Amino acid sequence: MYKSSAGKPIGFWSAVSMGIGAMVGAGIFALLGEASAISGSAVYISFIIGGIIALFSGYSLGKLGARYPSAGGIVEYLAQAWGTGFFTGAMSIMLYLAAVVSLSLIAKAFGNYAFTFLPKGSSPLWHHAFSVGIVVLFVVINLRGARDVAIWERLTVALKFSVLTGLAIAGIVYLKPELLSPSLYPPTKDIFFSLSITFFAYEGFRVITNTAEDMPDPARTLPRAMIAAILLVMLLYVAVSFAVFGNLPTDKVIASRDYALAEAALPIFGHLGFVVVAVAALVSTASSINANLYAVTNVTYQLAKDGELPAAFGQPIGHSREGLVISGILIIVLSLLFDLSQIASIGSISILFVHAVTHIGHLRLTTETGGSRWLVALAALLSLLAMGLALVYVSHRAGNVVQVLTGFVLVAAATELLLQKINHRRVHLRIRS
């Protein structure tokens, strides 16, 4: 595991900040408009449901992390529950692919907000230029090591929370109750279907599990940081949802879905408010890329060490690993290929599947972790239910998402089979020599 030369930099508030940084950047700025296209002004209900699912998952992962502190996070928990082999390896690769998808979404959101600062009529290619540029920037920053990650997160989380809290308070003070009338809500099934997007606004909390080896006291710090980060983010999402839909009609939010939060600031604060929120969105999505790159590098290092990814992913480069650079390239490719809603659906379903498998495995380890079997079982059940709803929705609305998900499963399985054959051959040659 790589860490700064000064020792273990990740304490309670640093871990909470990294979790918030990962969630908020991938969440409210990037996905509010996309989610509202499905659940309308009732999107806050979907955020509450998604938050509850995340809390149960956070409880289970927190108990696992306290018992098995590892830079690999969920990768380590899968190995502890299911042993090392084809199944664990394929699931670990699925987790990695989901993490890369998450980062591509955040990069795309950064590009959307950055584009609002350009003059009207600017080339749409600038969207891609900004998305690619921010990924390259933070790959370079992460090559400097863990301490820079923690310091950056504390600064940016303070900024984004101040701006979003201000927007939420002002929006709630000036909200128009008629815009939030239940009579305007879509059918109930649509609120549940929007979980295909809103749960993805929380999935960043998993990055906290990857900080365990950089924590002085993970058994105490990790579970507390996990729950605290999820609760704070859930409160923020609900408050901001009220502020936005209490000041803008749903159709206007959907029309400006790429920069919905900045648009919501216009009737409250005018153009200056739009600019401030757009800047906060840039900082927020940037910090989320930063936190998630740190986590995904830890995951790829663990996978390479276990022989479940090519050894190149674990090779040192600067104060990090080559997996950071390889992941950066994949993130850029995905951000260029898919739109926000597609990326969110792919990532949400993938991560829910991996979470469910991890929680089911945790049921075999509760005597070691001290976790409640009922709470862990609920975490697994809720993850499976949310995944099922998301699959039903995307199968009717975006068939190519199902095809991509199928491709992910096949790639994960084929990669694991190939690596097992390579490793087996190496062992056989070593024995013969």
pLDDT confidence tier of residue 3, bands split at 50, 70 and 90 = very low
Query: For 283-308, what is the mean pLDDT?
Result: 73
96: pLDDT confidence band, cut at 50, 70 and 90? confident
* Position 4 pLDDT exceeds 50: no
Q: What is the pLDDT of residues 233-253, one digit of tens each?
A: 999 999 999 988 988 888 888
**Using CA atoms, how far apart are residues 265 and 331, in angstroms rounded to an integer?**
30
Distances in Å between the alpha carbon of 176 and those of 216, 242, 244, 361? 48, 10, 10, 47
Dihedrals φ, ψ of 317, to 5°?
Answer: -150, 115
d(CA 307, CA 326): 17
Region 249-262 average pLDDT: 84
Q: Which of 189-193, 325-329, 419-423 has the highest mean pLDDT?
A: 189-193
Q: How many CA atoms lie within 13 A of 138 on its CB side?
A: 33
Q: What is the DSSP letter of 320?
A: E
Distance CA 118, CA 31 (A): 22
What contacts 174, CB < 8 A, 6 or more positions away? 246, 247, 267, 268
More confident residue, 206 or 272: 272
* pLDDT at res. 403: 85
The span from the CA of 253 to the CA of 41, in Å, is 9
Residue spans of the domains in the chain: they are 12-432
Residue 323 · residue 300 · CB < 8 Å: yes
What number is the average pLDDT over the span 340-360?
88
HSE, CB side, 13 Å, CA atoms: give it for residue 373. 6
* Predicted confidence band of residue 30 (pLDDT cuts 50, 70, 90): confident
Write down the CATH number for the domain with range 12-432: 1.20.1740.10
Q: What is the mean pLDDT of the chain?
A: 82
Q: Which of 288, 300, 291 shows the shortest CA–CA distance to 329?
A: 300
For the stretch 126-176, pLDDT in tens is 988 999 999 988 888 777 655 555 566 667 777 877 888 888 898 898 888
Query: Which pLDDT score, from 0 to 100, does residue 49 have?
Result: 94
Helical axes 43-67 vs 373-397, angle rounded to 10° = 130
Report the DSSP beta bridge partners of residue 316: 321
pLDDT confidence band for 380 (50 / 70 / 90): very high
Confidence of residue 425 (pLDDT cuts 50, 70, 90): low
Report residue 319's pLDDT band, with 50, 70 and 90 as the boundaries: very low
Structural contact between residues 297 and 66, judged by C-beta atoms closer than 8 angstroms: no
Q: CA–CA separation, 380 vs 358, rounded Å?
A: 8
Which pLDDT score, from 0 to 100, does residue 25 have? 65
- Residues contacting 119, CB < 8 A, separation 6+: none
Which of 37-46, 339-348, 359-368, 394-403 is predicted most confidently? Answer: 359-368
Q: Is the pLDDT of residue 431 over 70?
A: no
